[in-house]
Amino acid sequence: MVPIKTVLKNSEQVTRLFSHLEFDGKKLNHQPGSVLGSTALIAGTTVGAGILALPSVTMPSGIVPSTSGLIAVWLYALVSGLLVADVILNTMRTEGRVSIGFLRIVEKILGKLGARMAGGAYLFMHYALLVAYITEGGDILAYAAAKIGGVHISTWMGTTTFTFLFGGIMYLGREKFIEKLNSAFVGIVIVSFLGLLFLASRHIQSTQLLFQNWSALGSSISVMSVALFFQNVVPLVVTQLEGDARKIRQSIFIGSVIPLIMFLAWNAVILGSVTPDMLHGASGDKTVFNPLQILTADGGGEWLGVLVSIFSEFAIATSFIGFVYGLLDLFQDIFSTAQSKLSSRLPLYSLVLFPPMTLGTLNPSIFFTALDYTGTFSISVLGGIIPALMSWKQRQEQENSNSINQSLVPGGKLTLIVMIGVALAMMGRQILSIY
């Protein structure tokens, strides 16, 4: 294998084997991704609808148990993301290719059965969550239109507008533009979140900080898993950062830590602000309590509602971008197409956007339902079993061939066994809860 050596117009020489090059018809341009952009992509994908739903499911357990659960789920997601990156990097080195889709890697390592299982879970989870994001994003757009412009639009119009607005931006925009736009959206999310955190902290009641119910923690793990899921954008991060293991590890760690800190703070402030009556109502039906009602209590004013809408809309938009990228990557694998010309991208974007938009229009109340039913099975398969099995087989092949590749995840096969065991335990608990 010969490193790519291309002299650009500015005399920069690219010697990395996995340089991200783009041909504009006349010359090759070096299009490296930035750590900041990749970090923002991971953080933005993670901070989405999950943060809105989180306190409604963690409230029965209390702050200390739910904080412990969030940290444990984050650690699991971090190891999972690094395993995915590790497998992709090793495959790229072996194949000598710039970019390989996740589904192709699964098929190469685990065969067609593994690829079909991963593909089914991938499709189900992405479509379900896109339905959730599009539906909730459309509702917020409709609310903003009514409050700011005095225009009342129906639910289906809000859902359709959200899909065409943000989907159209992604369809027409170049990758570098979307990266910068997503980074700006993440900045808006963080700034508006700090404002909401400050306002919500005024309602904290010290008595609520001491409440603990560890037995209720298990029922919230699936939503935590959805809220902290980002592994679908790891293949894109690996490609954008040109196979640089240090930058990839840095982006995954920081990009997942930022949402964790936000989730912990949001969860603590909201749970510390609830009354016993709210807690009693939430234990019976988690959809009864809306965590955002804490912020609008005591005559918060219309401007507060606008701030809530800004945070919610941009948080959902950043996750929407990440999950659209995830489905595009899958369909490019299936149909062996590249996102180059607009004409070839139109069928891909239609497959990604129209099914969830239609489902969201037909069933607007599916927001919490989608979060419930995707958390355990799909994420256990995609975030635990598949990455661990691929890494296990890949490491065995390396041992047999006496090749040495530095792993991003320490702990050897014991770590992989724990990952698979936790995933199976989560799936088993979900099955038992049904019966």
Domain ranges of the chain: 1-32, 34-434
> Treating both helix axes as pointing N-terminal to C-terminal, what angle do 245-271 and 49-58 enclose, rounded to 10 degrees?
50
Average pLDDT over residues 317-340: 79
Tokens of 75: 């650690």
Residue type, 301: G
Three-state secondary structure call for residue 407: coil
Distance CA 226, CA 222 (A): 6
At residue 34, the pLDDT reads 82
Q: Which residue has the higher pLDDT, 303 or 199?
A: 199
The vertex-100 CA angle with 96 and 101, nearest 5°, equals 170
pLDDT per position as a tens digit, 212-250: 888 888 878 878 888 888 888 898 888 888 888 889 999
Distance CA 314, CA 334 (A): 30
Residue 23 has pLDDT above 90, yes or no: no
Q: If we measure between CA atoms, which residue out of 386, 57, 45 comes closest to residue 224?
A: 57
Q: How far is CA 367 from CA 42, 340, 356, 361, in A?
A: 22, 33, 12, 12
At residue 27, the pLDDT reads 59
At residue 6, the pLDDT reads 39
Tokens of 166: 């943000």
Q: Give the highest mean pLDDT range of 145-154, 187-196, 265-274, 328-337.
A: 187-196
Supply the mean pLDDT for the chain: 78
At residue 348, the pLDDT reads 87
Q: If we measure between CA atoms, which residue out of 279, 310, 316 comes closest to residue 294?
A: 279
Distance CA 242, CA 92 (A): 10
CB distance 121 to 290 below 8 Å: no
Q: How far is CA 215 from CA 95, 220, 429, 430, in A?
A: 48, 11, 13, 15
Tokens of 203: 């309602």
Residue 112 has pLDDT above 50, yes or no: yes
C-alpha R_g of the chain: 22
- In the block, tokens 């923690």 appear at 217
Average pLDDT over residues 156-170: 88
Tokens of 236: 């894109």
Cβ neighbours of 387 (radius 10 Å): 30
Residue 385 has pLDDT above 80, yes or no: yes
CB distance 382 to 231 below 8 Å: yes
Q: Measured in Å, how far apart are the chain's first and last C-alpha atoms?
A: 55
Fold of 34-434: Amino acid/polyamine transporter I (1.20.1740)
For the whole model, what pTM was predicted? 0.81
Distance CA 416, CA 413 (A): 5
At residue 108, the pLDDT reads 85
Tokens of 126: 């992405």
